[in-house]
Amino acid sequence: PLERKWVQVSLGMCALFVSIIMLDALFHGVNAPSNVETIDSRKIHLSEEFGEDNLGVQVAENGEITVRLVAGRYAFFPKEITIPAETKITFRWVSMDVLHGVHMPMTNMSTMIVPGYVSQVESSFPRPGEYPMLCNEYCGLGHDHMWSKVSVI
Ligand code: CUA
């Protein structure tokens, strides 16, 4: 009888956790990453989208802002970007070598940058200021120095 009680308790906890995940997905829009766009890491600097001429902040004709960044040992390229506050911005990252991550403290920005895939995150920054963009996946001896500067104006 005591065992049965604990089985019931653990099944109840499982049901609770699954329902929290379901509620977050349905009502808060929290979903597992579903963007599985692929890219050949070796061709990033030759590619149309992630070529050297096309990195950084781009404003489309309809005003939508896209920021394309390449992560590589040990920097994000370009190393400095300037973006407007209170504006929806689409960030697209790729890695040219190994697994990196990106994290901007005090914002909702945090994602992995897996070689071979495009990581896309939409965000907007309510307050102007300077934000560091840090690598948060260990990527080698220079990992601690891998960061770049985002100016929000
Ligand atoms: Cu890149 Cu750590």
Q: Return the CATH number at 124.
A: 2.60.40.420
CA of 135 to the centre of ligand 1 (A): 4
Cβ atoms 57, 83 nearer than 8 A: yes
Mean pLDDT is lowest, of 7-11, 12-16, 45-49, 98-102, for: 45-49
- Domain count across the chain: 2
Regarding whether 130 and 75 lie in a shared domain, the answer is yes
Task: Encode burial over 113-132: b for 16+ CB neighbours within 10 A, e otherwise.
Answer: bbbebbbebeeebeeeeebe
CA 65/CA 53 separation, integer angstroms: 16
As to burial, measured by CB atoms within 10 angstroms (0-12 exposed, 13-18 middle, 19+ buried), residue 19 is exposed
Regarding whether 75 and 99 lie in a shared domain, the answer is yes
Regarding whether 53 and 72 lie in a shared domain, the answer is yes
Protein residue with its CA nearest to atom 1 in ligand 1: 100
Task: Please give the number of the atom of ligand 1 that sits closest to the Cα of 146.
Answer: 1
CA 97/CA 139 separation, integer angstroms: 9
CA of 137 to the centre of ligand 1 (A): 5
% of the chain residues with pLDDT over 90: 58
Task: Please give the number of the atom of ligand 1 that sits closest to the Cα of 74.
Answer: 1
Regarding whether 73 and 28 lie in a shared domain, the answer is no
Cβ atoms 33, 113 nearer than 8 A: no
Q: Is the ipTM of this complex over 0.90?
A: yes
The structure tokens listed for 7 are 């089985």
CA of 8 to the centre of ligand 1 (A): 44
**Span 69-124, pLDDT tens digits:** 999 999 999 999 999 999 999 999 999 999 999 999 888 888 999 999 999 888 88
Regarding whether 141 and 108 lie in a shared domain, the answer is yes
Regarding whether 27 and 54 lie in a shared domain, the answer is no
- Find out whether the beta carbon of 143 lies less than 6 Å from any atom of ligand 1: yes
Regarding whether 70 and 1 lie in a shared domain, the answer is no
Of residues 134 and 25, the one with the higher pLDDT is 134
Residue 36 pLDDT more than 80?
Answer: no
Q: Are strands 65-72 and 75-77 parallel, antiparallel or unpaired?
A: antiparallel
Q: What are the CB-based long-range contacts (under 8 Å, 24+) for 48-56? A: 49/92, 50/94, 56/81
Query: What is the model's pLDDT at position 32?
Result: 66
Range of the domain at 88: 41-152
Regarding whether 117 and 50 lie in a shared domain, the answer is yes
Regarding whether 142 and 101 lie in a shared domain, the answer is yes
